[in-house]
Amino acid sequence: MRLIAGTHLFALISLTAALDNGLLRTPPMGWMAWERFRCDIDCHDDPQNCISEDLFRDMADRLVEDGWKELGYEYVMIDDCWMSKLRDEQGRLQPEPSRFPGGIAKLARYIHDRGLKLGIYADMGTHTCMGLPGTTLDKIEIDAQTFASWGVDYLKFDGCYSNPLEQMLGYPLMSLALNATGRPIAYSCSWPVYVGGLPPVVNYTLMGNICNLWRNYFDIQDSWDSLQGIVDWFFNNQDDLQPAAGPGQWNDPDMLIIGNFGLSLEQSRSQMALWAIMASPLIMSNDLRNLDNGARAILQNKVAIAINQDPLGIQGRRLLQEKSRIEVYWRPLANSASALVFLSRRSDMPYLYHTSLAKLNYNPGNYGVYDVFTGSTVTGLNTTTLFTISINPSGVVMWYILPEHSKKTHTHHHLHKTASHFTFL
């Protein structure tokens, strides 16, 4: 016990420098296996979809060839179920040889050769969530070194089969161990979700010093109900969570499920819009080999991505919850710009919502508006002008807004006047 106490003291003393890795100045973007492919290890009967090196090579190819990489989607992330049930003779984690015959280092080279980055998964308990070897406190250093030697660029560190004391020790120690390898490795911590996600139990100042991003809440499932539950939790607790985010340190409400089975196109736009407002990681978990054009258009929307990747890195907030079940979200952006999202929680029919920028606390003046999902624009929208927008059930209208005095220096947004989507009263 004396050793653990000493280790803990060392970790706390070193925390201020623990994550000076310069990574993830904007939220990470990429693809992850878990939500779509889970722990499918049946490569005999399901070779196309099992967790194997072939799957990750396929997704890397798709990221490059289908235009994802150039938009910023750069991480290919392995989740649980990649490992062998036993460590090797030197005590190192090793991939399951029948599914990763080339090893992780070779897979990393394949991914790096395409200009992408590789993420991997470990768990700081006795076992991973699916029962494979965990990274207990005595294994943290060797596992960090192993990941670095393989060329890993990102670690998701889960917390199944661990207790709060082990988490308090282990998450900072892994941060130190990753930095000590000398390889830049982004660090995703699952710590907050295992202890309830909120202060005072979670110290988000400390979290920002040791992790690049962290999972605050339960796993997303492939459904609108699951997505709404996550959104409600994050915005009901926005006063605690919103200040924790910034360049290099992000709240993570989990993966994008757009392109799977559970969301309509309207709901898919809602997830993209809200994840952009929240400055969330844009980590897709879908089958990029079989993605329909509607989902692709949403996930590749350049303005939604630009809002998400805004260099200020300020997480947005919910402004209003109306009795009509319309909600309004806002995020400040660089160059005096901002983003608004009008979300309908209704399930009946399109709803006509009446408001003005003044009611949403905008400063007096004229503004240009670009509708992110329709591409329609309007200029000269005065703060006091009442307008009406139509919001589809479980859908959004998302606006990028720029003060008129700033527009001359940002002509690339091409805010030309059209009345196609706006009604002024």
Burial of 159 from C-beta contacts in 10 A (0-12 / 13-18 / 19+): buried
Burial of 65 from C-beta contacts in 10 A (0-12 / 13-18 / 19+): exposed
Residues contacting 77, CB < 8 A, separation 6+: 30, 31, 32, 33, 118, 119, 120, 121, 154, 156, 283
Lateral strand order in the sheet of 351-355: 351-355, 387-391, 423-424
Burial of 175 from C-beta contacts in 10 A (0-12 / 13-18 / 19+): buried
In the DSSP assignment, the letter for residue 95 is B
| Cβ–Cβ under 8 Å, residues 99 and 43 | yes
3-state SS class at 156:
strand
Q: In terms of DSSP bridges, do strands 423-424 and 387-391 run parallel, antiparallel, or are they unpaired? A: antiparallel
Whether residue 225 lies in the annotated active site: no
Burial of 58 from C-beta contacts in 10 A (0-12 / 13-18 / 19+): middle
Which residues are registered as beta bridge partners of 187? 155
Active-site residue, from 58, 219, 222, 240 = 219
3-state SS class at 384:
coil
Active-site residue, from 79, 153, 158, 371 = 158
* Alpha helix segments (H runs only) across 253-317: 265-277, 293-299, 302-308
3-state SS class at 251:
strand
Residues contacting 19, CB < 8 A, separation 6+: 175, 179, 187, 208, 209, 210, 211, 212, 248
Whether residue 153 lies in the annotated active site: no
- Cα 263 to Cα 274: distance, rounded to the nearest angstrom: 14
Catalytic residues: 158, 219
